[in-house]
Amino acid sequence: MSRVRLQTLIDRSVRNMGAVHNVIRESTIEMIKRAYGEEINVQISSGFRSYADQTRIYNQGRTSPGNIVTNAKAGYSNHNFGVAIDYFLTSHDGSEAIWTVNAQWRRVAAIGKQLGFSWGGDWTSFKDFPHLQMTGGLSTAQMRAGQRPNLKMNFTPTKVEDVNTEIGGNRVMGDEPSILTPNGSVHIRAAQTFANSRDYPTRAKANFKTLVVDGFAGPLTNNALIRIYQYFANVTIDGKYGPRSKRAANTLRRGTASQWWVRLLQSSLNAKGYKLSIDGSFGTATENAVISFQRSRNINVDGVAGPNTWGQLFR
């Protein structure tokens, strides 16, 4: 059985991190490289989370099935600001996730701390062993108020070819996630600009407040995009993707000519961390982004944006 390739672990992790701060992204990739050189396979399971994603995770074990995995509500997790990641180990061939907090797990945490992360396993009140974060001394309250950490890399990146183990591999299908800077993601800014265009905030009583174009996707951005969807679909505009909205879904696929629907799809994908040009053309890049998003949400992977894909985009 051959070992999973380093590039495969990096590609999977970049996809799962989404729109994290650039320093978080590069530091995480360095951690994966250094661990791989010590015969440890580490992969990232989560990075940037929208407010809607955080609410869904917070409700797990409370109002929805599953175990409680977080005490942080939306806006109170560093994941919501792109400055935190969660990791796990994999089997030798990369086919199985390993969640046992063993010596290798702790070694990955130690490597992360060398690179500037703080580790949730060191917390006293609620130990979060998969969690690493780099906040630059800012609290979530400060980041909710609009401040962003000034993070800097404290290392020289290791080249993939310099890792003393098997390397290589194919890149995952799908557009790469966008990268957050202290000024936010330019691709999320493009999505917010689209939402503010063509009088959408007031057209057909869509009734959402004109968005602040800050490059950070939160509940207001998500709500605005849902309302534009409902305006396009000619259903009640209430900001909730319910049964009527689902039945009215316009199914989009490669070559679709409905440019404004496609622009909405591209904006909604960008709000989830992708980096598409919002040009109304459903080409290869948009199809690959849909495939990548569907795969990340464990729904049918076909590159076609139908009712279930729209529903996941608006969660």
- What does 212-277 look like in DSSP terms, one character per residue? P--S---HHHHHHHHHHHHHHHTS--SS---HHHHHT---B-TT---HHHHHHHHHHHHHTTB---
The SS3 of residue 114 is helix
pLDDT class of 280 with cuts at 50, 70, 90: very high
Could you tell me where the DSSP H helices lie in the chain? 6-17, 22-37, 51-59, 103-114, 140-144, 186-196, 219-233, 243-247, 259-271, 284-296, 307-313
- Looking at residue 214, its pLDDT comes to 82
**Confidence check: pLDDT of 226 > 80:** yes
Please state which CATH class domain 186-313 belongs to.
mainly alpha
* Contact between 227 and 245 (Cβ < 8 Å): no
Residue 71 has a CB neighbour count (10 Å cut-off) of 11
- Digit-coded pLDDT (tens) for 79-130: 999 999 999 999 988 999 999 999 899 999 999 999 999 999 999 888 899 9
What's the pLDDT score for residue 177? 42
Decide: 228 and 198 in contact? Cβ < 8 Å. Answer: no
Is the pLDDT at 179 greater than 50? The verdict is: no
pLDDT at position 176 is: 39
Residue 142 clears pLDDT 80, i.e. is over it: yes
pLDDT given at position 68: 86
Average confidence score pLDDT of the chain: 87
For the chain, percent of residues with pLDDT exceeding 70: 91
Per-residue confidence (pLDDT) for residue 6, from 0 to 100: 93
On whether the CB atoms of residues 225 and 268 are closer than 8 A, the answer is yes
CATH topology of domain 6-148: Muramoyl-pentapeptide Carboxypeptidase; domain 2 (3.30.1380)
Question: With 70 as the cut, is the pLDDT of residue 140 above it?
Answer: yes
**Which region among 47-56, 183-192, 262-271, 283-292 has the lowest average model confidence (pLDDT)?**
183-192
Per-residue pLDDT of 210-220, as tens digits, reads: 888 888 887 88
Query: What pLDDT score does 120 carry?
Result: 95
Q: How many angstroms separate the CA atoms of 244 and 241, rounded?
A: 8
Q: What is residue 205's predicted lDDT score, i.e. its pLDDT?
A: 58
> According to the model, what pLDDT value does residue 204 have?
53
The pTM for the full model equals 0.54
Nearest CA to 216 out of 260, 248, 183 is that of 183
Amino acid at 164: N
Tokens 């979530």 correspond to 140
Of 39-53, 107-121, 203-217, 263-277, the range with the lowest mean pLDDT is 203-217
Task: Output phi, psi for 45, to 5 deg.
Answer: -100, -25
In the block, tokens 């890049």 appear at: 285
User: In the chain, where are the structural domains located?
Assistant: 6-148, 186-313
Amino acid (one-letter) located at 73: K
List pLDDT tens digits, range 195-206.
Answer: 988 878 876 556
What residues does 224 pair with on adjacent strands?
A: none
Identify the pLDDT of residue 184.
67
